[in-house]
Amino acid sequence: QVQLVESGGGLVQPGGSLRLSCEASGIVFDRALMNWYRQAPGNERELVASITKDNSTKYGDSVKGRVTVSRDNAKMTVYLQMNALKLEDTAVYYCHWKGVRDYWGRGTQVTVSS
């Protein structure tokens, strides 16, 4: 059974930092392309970052230069380090893996507010 469990969200002031984690189970993690998406109210879900099994990374235009995705295969965990957070980064952040279908975690809320 595939499970993706996000953690690390919270309330942070503009300019602050957060590190999100996604622990996976039920997949061959060290071969998996892992993704972070986010969805703000009224908006479509958008890709934030991806990391391949070889640690190649890709970032959404809105977060480039402020976000770093990484993985720890031994812990079956993918991380999203977010710095210089902006009000518009407020969203639910989801971990995603595409197997025979799309698998999503339940999400973790990130709220950037002063």
Which tokens go with 14?
């503009």
* Tens-place pLDDT, residues 19-58: 999 999 999 999 999 999 999 999 999 999 999 999 999 9
What φ, ψ does residue 49 adopt, rounded to 5°?
Answer: -160, 155
Give the per-residue pLDDT at 14.
98
Give the 3-state DSSP-derived string for 51-65, with helices as H, strands as E and coil as C. ECCCCCEEECCCCCC
For residue 94, which phi and psi values (nearest 5 degrees)?
-120, 140
CB 9 within 8 A of CB 16: no
Amino acid at the residue 50: S
pLDDT 10s digits, 57-91: 999 999 999 999 999 999 999 999 999 999 999 99
pLDDT attached to residue 87:
97
Band of residue 103 on the pLDDT scale cut at 50, 70, 90 = very high
